[in-house]
Structure 1
Amino acid sequence: MKKNEIISLVSDEDVHQFRVISLWGMGGIGKTTLVRDIYQSEVLSGTFEERACVTVMRPFNCDELLKSLTMQFRDKVATTDITRYLGGKRYLLVLDDVLSTSEWDAIIKHLPKATTGCIIVTTREENIAKHCSEDERSMYNLKNLNHDDALTLLTKKVFKETIDLEKQYPELVEQAEMILRKCNGLPLAIVTIGGFLANQPKKALEWRKLNEHISAELETNPELETIRSVLMRSYDGLPYHLKSCFLYMPIFPEDQRVGRGRLVRRWTAEGYSREVRGKSMEEIADGYFMELLSRSMLLPSQGSIHSIKGIDYCQVHDLMREIGISKSMEENLVFILEKGCSSNSQATMRHLTISNSWVGDQNEFESTVDLSRVRSITCFGKWRPFFISERITLLRVLDLENTGDLADHHLKHIWNLLHLRYLSLRGCEDIYHLPESLGNLRELQTLDVRGTRINKLPKSIVNLQKLNNLCAGMKTMNEGISYEEFEGEGGVTSYKSCTWPLSLFNNSRLGRCAHGEYGLSSHDACTPISCLLIPATAMRLDMYGVLVPRGMRKLKGLRTLGIVNIARRGKDILQDIKGLTWLRKLGVTGVNKENGQELNSAIVGMRRLESLSVRSEGDPGLSGCLDGDYSLSGRSICTETWSNCQNGSKGSRIW
């Protein structure tokens, strides 16, 4: 338990030095409650000659804060004498809610360090905690409560005692679970909502009303005002550029993990970042991501074992998301098209989210949404052809990841979206083909077609001079590298071959297509055979990667490229890749003895490369394909390591 651990650290008389202990975490996590419990602990009552506990008030006034400290000392002293007075004394000070490094710097210069004093600081930001405590062992990140502890806290607050809810009130269990999901382990939210429910009838209907109208309750219910005010302080403390990034989050559904790369690339496409002093726009946007994590505005979600950056996915606390939705609606940013919705701000809506709960028709869509001002469209449901029309002229982001019922012929209007910077068809398994008109999208920065059936990219892709990220690779169901793994950051990964699942060609959907159930032409019905099976068989291709045209070296801005099939025309392709000197992440498949040395040669010159995924086809895997010593981003990789990796385990990492 952190409380006992910190008390032990604070009261350790064997340590004769000044120390600062920092506690950080999102608003409402319980920092203030914890430090006050520690401060009032009987264990510490006789340990220090002087003690004081203050909350840093806003607007910040250092003189007023120091005056509040000195008023709590046994011998009242002037604020100008605080350094001399505490010198040589064993003292404990608690500074609750420090919001900036400048506040800390202003305070600490008045406090003596050549002493056995101890200061406990609470803050919402990790970087402030690090600034205050130079020793990371004196930093504590307060986490959300686990489910069992959260349920115990809720029932204790509602029923004034710990009870077995499932036995005594089984009809409340479902609604209690919904409340806990929304609170997501945040003690302040659990205590406040529990206190409100304590005065309500213990009926499932009453609890359901709260769950269904939590947004309105947060804004209008005085008993829940504490939650809103605490969470709003976190939002209000954001600089302008981070507010824009945070208000983007309501685009994504409740409880959904959002990929780091997806978010950063979308922010970049929206113009939320710009190149600064040699740092790319994506690097700046990635810094924004990490800063929002540091401020606990985003919650980390571990997503990939292949990540060296540690965090591939994030979520927004449900109640914090409600704040985001409220502020986003005020500023007419995000509109969520869902069941039962209506819009009063069509003209100024910038971001359209289409929920999977919306089942309206074209007339309802056009009467609700004005597409002429929309900058981004994100679809989480099934595709309708009228979602994209000629009326869309300003669209920068089109995110159709995992959209259902999307076929090639639905994309005809997309190739005319001249301002498009981000296009994702990821996970759309009925997409087989990209036309030459793709080359019209001259502003495109990110093209993500992972998890589709595309095995060949059009020649016109070399015209996309602003392309930074090209992510491709068909979805496989058996062993070997998966397209999801290419999302992870860093390291070098080698994989053995895998075969395309026959189940693809036994899919009953193909039979239904032929009979016109999906309104497809005979050409569409034959697509799986003509676009996948026949070409791949004839060319003896590994059906995981994609073929790229000659001339890829023209795409000088590429940072991410994969998964490229080099089994055919491997030397020509690798000569093009060799010219992509800004590559940070590369994935190739179809590696064999004939092209292995060319791959080695291409890699040697890639001084900026951070991540490499390599995949072979058939036996003997990569054995003998990558012989020789070479350096990759400061890491030396030898022949033996590659061989052992392939002769031993699949998916091994090379560092």
Structure 2
Amino acid sequence: MAETAILSALKVLGAALAEEVKSLATSKISDLRSIYANLKLNMNKISTELQVMQGFLNEIETDHPSNESQVAWIKEVQKLANDIEDIVVEFAYLIGNQQFGGKSFYLKKLFKEPKSLIAFKRIASELLEAEERLKNLASIKERWLPTIEKKNEEDSNFSNKYSHNVAVFAHVVDEDHLVGITEDRVKLTKWLNFEELQLSVVSVWGMGGVGKTTLVTSVYKRERKNFDRHAWVSISQSYTPETILWNIISEICRDEKGVTIDATNMDILRLNTTLQNLLGEHKYLIVLDDMWDPKAFLDIRDTLVDNHRGSKIVITSRMAEVANLAPENKRLELKPFSETYSWSLFCRKAFNHEKNHSCPPPLEEWARKIASKCGGLPLAIVSIGVMLSLFEKTESKWRQLFDQLSWQLDNNPSLDPLKNILMLSFKYLPKYLKNCFLYCCLFPEDFLLPRKKLLRLWIAEGFIEQKGRSTLEEVAEGYLMELVNRCMLQVVEKNYFGRVKRCKMHDTLREVAISLCRKENFGLLHEDNKSENADGSTRRLSIINLRETVNHDVCLPKLRTFMSVDNDVSSSPLLSMVFDKSRYLTVLDLVGLPIETVPNAIGDLFNLHYLGLRETKVKCLPKSIKKLQNLQTLDLWLSQIQNLPDGIVELKKLRHLFAEVEVDPTYRSFRTRTGISLPKGIFYLKDLQTIQALESNAMVVRELGNLTQLRSFRIMNVKENHSVELCKSLSKMSFLSFLSINASDEEEILQLEGLNLPQLQKLELRGKLKETILESPLFKISGTSIQSLLLWWSQLQNDPLPSLSHCRNLTRLILKGAYEGQRLIFQEGWFPKLKRLQLDIMPNLIQVEMEQGTMASLEEIWLRELKKLVEVPKGIQHLVSLKWMVCDDMPVLFPSRASHKLFHFTCVVR
């Protein structure tokens, strides 16, 4: 973990030597020139030293140090890296603060002020001290720490040790105690016995501790007799092709009578030849357990001969990339157990001496809570269940154990195998993913992490690096998918076109992450009564689920992140302290707090990248907001802010602006929300990617075209006479993927025939449309890329479906007040990818018909306020993928209760 602190320090060091800092070198004042020369020299020296130290840390084990001296040394390295980051951030703050309002004017002012000279001399002195500390740490390393060679061996032993322990545990587990794997065992057995002659690969994957090895072992023991030769090999992270081949040969020879081969001193060529001879014309089964890198298989693939005898390779892994070595129809992803299976396995372990393994009634409440904390993870259930079986069976003791569960996981040696298996997943994360992963545990347990917000927070924290021409948001989404594919985050919900919408951390994995956050000073959680003790070194603080005022006298000068999640605290000394004392905050997220004002002191938070006031009661922003020169995200969504101060145009790095005011939370009326009014200069903020939402006027639609980087845009109060200019401006946005246009009222016509956005994915139009719009480029050309389409209050007289059917990639279609006719017919072959269809507020609609072969992928139908539709849509039984039909405010005669008996889907009436 110390290396991630170094990475952060290196980033700010690089930024400190950027253009505005270099301008100091041109000063005619000799004192400043001398200070700058020394600062630049010291920064370069420190940067070089940190890079070398980072290389050393990359080669040793920092997550599981082998002795106390190494623990102490790594902690000092981390502390120094954080201190260096603080010094350089303060340096950048001084420069930026003086430059604000006009670079040349303030630089002249800076050169004349003795206080500034004193501040720069102090920073230069602190950097010199940091350089000396670096040298001292290097000297300590040479005197007291083990050599890299010895540590490399220990690191390898760590990985092999715990991988081996899991494999041994799985091999000796009593099959009578196996629960919840029957279905997966049948599927895997079927694949192994499938009568195909060519060599085939099967993969079983899932998070650490989910039971991959246990399942495969169970099948392997039963089915290996059907193969002439077989081998089970555990693949360590530090594998070599020679080691894998040697282990396979050794396993085959151990189980085959009369076959004796000493492969100890063979080179790679002889190992290849020997294994190929052993496999020969035999039908074989090889299990490659716990593989971390697909290259481990690719390196030996050519040696595993395809002799057309029906041989099988089974690979287990925690990574989707490795699982993809098998064809799609031979990949088995293991999920955590259901509540029923979890409880059954828990009782078998925790109450192994009770009759039928039944839970004593006085303990059931706390036993179920403890079992639930395991999150369906078999290894956690078994480990914690066995631990609990040793404690006395009293209600008070088990209540105490539930309260101490996090502590037990961190400190009880009997739970070390569980903790270490989960730690392996973290240990082998690439460096660039470690901070991203740890950040996720700063949210409440079972919190659904919204993809877009999480990516913006990672960017604000500086975790995301630029890669080629990709945006930071695109790189961040790649990081998120890596964590998902490594089973470090669980996908809870996808949107209608397959992208992750919300994800969560597994409870047990989150406990491990919280422990790491605490030890590495990454961040602290203050949650209900389970308070962490923040101090002057705390860098991230998350306040969760508090209902009473938080009293903290501690000063947090090094704080970089302050987040409030699901709180009900209107004011707090802690919050005031953050505004006044934590000057170098990067993230300030106060979502949902019932605060009404933002202090003027917020302008002093020069390092602020993310400001979240979502769903607060704030009505206006102070003028000092213009001083937040590093601000990237300003989230005012559903606050009470309708106008922004003119100084907003000074925020040159702003990327995302959210500001809507809710008018009608029922969504029944035409105008449910309003946008905000922005000053003219906003259209020169070239980095803007998101604006939701903006109130339209003649100036807005004319200047809008300057924002060529926009990806997501919602505009309100559009009038018919704005249409031509609006289409011209929008057509300049070559990256726009989400567009929402809202007319000023129900009778205002949106004339968008001139709009062509071939990259558009989501389109929302709220307002009256002419029939010709459906034959315009917006639907004929852009329609091929549109995946989500919402037409509200369009008042179309003709059936829109024939024209919309050209949008073959649609996954969601919502028609609300969009059609005034009587019949809608969905013809064969239309909307092949559609998953959700919503028909809403069409007072004249009397019939909906669905031909066989239409909407082949449809999963949901929502019917709302269709006053004359008294019959179930004709042909609905043809929709074989349909899961739900939701009926809301439909006629009394609508036979909804009968539909679930007649058809294969569930009907919900509200």
Range 469-478 or range 554-563, more displaced: 469-478
The answer as to 2:689 corresponding to 1:559 is: yes
One-letter amino acid of the counterpart of residue 317, structure 2: T
Match of 1:69 in 2: 248
Match of 1:534 in 2: none
Shift in Å, 1:162: 10
> For residues 454 and 12 of structure 1, what CA distance do their matches in structure 2 show?
64
1:559-579 alpha-carbon deviations (Å, 9 max, x no partner): 11112222xx1x321223222
The answer as to 2:533 corresponding to 1:335 is: no
One-letter amino acid of the counterpart of residue 402, structure 1: G
Correspondence 1:342-381 to 2 at 5 A: 346-357=535-546, 359=548, 364-367=551-554, 370-380=555-565, 381=567
Partner residue of 1:619 out of 740, 746, 769: 746
One-letter amino acid of the counterpart of residue 325, structure 1: I
Shift in Å, 1:319: 1.3
One-letter amino acid of the counterpart of residue 334, structure 2: L
Match of 2:282 in 1: 89
Partner residue of 2:580 out of 377, 390, 401: 390
1:632 aligned counterpart, secondary structure: coil
2:581 aligned counterpart, secondary structure: coil
Match of 1:56 in 2: 235
Range 74-83 or range 643-652, more displaced: 643-652
- Contact in 1 for aligned 2:674/2:716 (Cα 8 Å): yes
Q: CA distance change for structure 1 residues 18 and 497 in 2, over 3 Å: closer, same or farther?
A: farther
Correspondence 1:62-211 to 2 at 5 A: 62-73=241-252, 74=256, 75-77=259-261, 78=263, 79-80=271-272, 81-113=274-306, 115=308, 116-130=310-324, 132-133=325-326, 135-160=327-352, 169-211=360-402
1:300-347 alpha-carbon deviations (Å, 9 max, x no partner): 1216x4x53521222111111111111111111212235566767723
- Contact in 1 for aligned 2:686/2:709 (Cα 8 Å): yes
- Contact in 1 for aligned 2:549/2:572 (Cα 8 Å): no
Q: CA distance change for structure 1 residues 151 and 340 in 2, over 3 Å: closer, same or farther?
A: closer
Match of 2:203 in 1: 22
1:219-277 alpha-carbon deviations (Å, 9 max, x no partner): 22232222111111111111222111122223212221122122111111111112121
One-letter amino acid of the counterpart of residue 435, structure 2: S
One-letter amino acid of the counterpart of residue 475, structure 1: E
- Contact in 2 for aligned 1:93/1:118 (Cα 8 Å): yes
> For residues 475 and 140 of structure 1, what CA distance do their matches in structure 2 show?
45
One-letter amino acid of the counterpart of residue 111, structure 1: L
User: Greater CA radius of gyration, 1 or 2?
Assistant: 2
The answer as to 2:633 corresponding to 1:452 is: no
2:727 aligned counterpart, secondary structure: helix
> For residues 671 and 414 of structure 2, what CA distance do their matches in structure 1 show?
60
Match of 2:266 in 1: none
Match of 1:520 in 2: none
Shift in Å, 1:427: 1.3
The answer as to 2:475 corresponding to 1:284 is: yes
Correspondence 1:602-641 to 2 at 5 A: 602-620=729-747, 624-627=750-753, 630-633=756-759, 639-640=773-774
Q: CA distance change for structure 1 residues 383 and 164 in 2, over 3 Å: closer, same or farther?
A: farther
Shift in Å, 1:377: 0.6
Q: CA distance change for structure 1 residues 391 and 45 in 2, over 3 Å: closer, same or farther?
A: closer
Shift in Å, 1:385: 4.9
Partner residue of 2:511 out of 316, 319, 322: 322
> For residues 346 and 441 of structure 1, what CA distance do their matches in structure 2 show?
26
> For residues 463 and 97 of structure 1, what CA distance do their matches in structure 2 show?
53
Match of 1:263 in 2: 454
- Contact in 2 for aligned 1:545/1:565 (Cα 8 Å): yes
Shift in Å, 1:375: 0.5
Match of 1:486 in 2: none
Q: CA distance change for structure 1 residues 618 and 168 in 2, over 3 Å: closer, same or farther?
A: same
- Contact in 2 for aligned 1:450/1:474 (Cα 8 Å): yes
Correspondence 1:412-427 to 2 at 5 A: 412-427=600-615
Q: CA distance change for structure 1 residues 144 and 379 in 2, over 3 Å: closer, same or farther?
A: same
> For residues 225 and 412 of structure 2, what CA distance do their matches in structure 1 show?
43
Match of 2:723 in 1: 596
Q: CA distance change for structure 1 residues 397 and 28 in 2, over 3 Å: closer, same or farther?
A: same
One-letter amino acid of the counterpart of residue 752, structure 2: L
Q: CA distance change for structure 1 residues 297 and 162 in 2, over 3 Å: closer, same or farther?
A: farther
One-letter amino acid of the counterpart of residue 498, structure 1: F
- Contact in 2 for aligned 1:578/1:606 (Cα 8 Å): yes
2:741 aligned counterpart, secondary structure: strand
- Contact in 2 for aligned 1:333/1:348 (Cα 8 Å): no
1:486-544 alpha-carbon deviations (Å, 9 max, x no partner): xxxxxxxxxx95345xxxxxxxxxxxxxxxxxxxxxxxxxxxxxxxxxxxxxxxxxx42
- Contact in 2 for aligned 1:301/1:314 (Cα 8 Å): yes
One-letter amino acid of the counterpart of residue 413, structure 1: A
Correspondence 1:521-540 to 2 at 5 A: none
Match of 1:647 in 2: 818
> For residues 633 and 650 of structure 1, what CA distance do their matches in structure 2 show?
28
Match of 1:5 in 2: 187
> For residues 162 and 618 of structure 1, what CA distance do their matches in structure 2 show?
70
CA RMSD, 1 decimal: 2.9
Correspondence 1:366-515 to 2 at 5 A: 366-367=553-554, 370-380=555-565, 381=567, 382-386=569-573, 387=575, 388-403=578-593, 405-408=594-597, 410-428=598-616, 430-480=617-667, 498-499=670-671
Higher RCO (CA 8 Å, separation ≥ 6 residues): 1
- Contact in 1 for aligned 2:526/2:542 (Cα 8 Å): yes
Shift in Å, 1:71: 2.3
2:715 aligned counterpart, secondary structure: strand
1:339-361 alpha-carbon deviations (Å, 9 max, x no partner): 56676772321101223337466
1:571-627 alpha-carbon deviations (Å, 9 max, x no partner): 321223222111111122223433334333333232211222333343247x65434
Q: CA distance change for structure 1 residues 57 and 392 in 2, over 3 Å: closer, same or farther?
A: closer
> For residues 355 and 536 of structure 2, what CA distance do their matches in structure 1 show?
52
- Contact in 2 for aligned 1:338/1:358 (Cα 8 Å): no
Runs of at least 5 residues in structure 1 that lack an aligned partner in the other structure: 481-495, 501-542
Match of 1:586 in 2: 713
> For residues 312 and 162 of structure 1, what CA distance do their matches in structure 2 show?
44
Shift in Å, 1:651: 11
Runs of at least 5 residues in structure 2 that lack an aligned partner in the other structure: 1-182, 264-270, 764-771, 780-790, 801-814, 820-838, 843-910
Correspondence 1:541-552 to 2 at 5 A: 543-552=673-682
Q: CA distance change for structure 1 residues 616 and 7 in 2, over 3 Å: closer, same or farther?
A: farther
Shift in Å, 1:28: 0.5
> For residues 238 and 665 of structure 2, what CA distance do their matches in structure 1 show?
59
> For residues 762 and 406 of structure 2, what CA distance do their matches in structure 1 show?
54
> For residues 624 and 498 of structure 2, what CA distance do their matches in structure 1 show?
37
> For residues 627 and 107 of structure 1, what CA distance do their matches in structure 2 show?
59
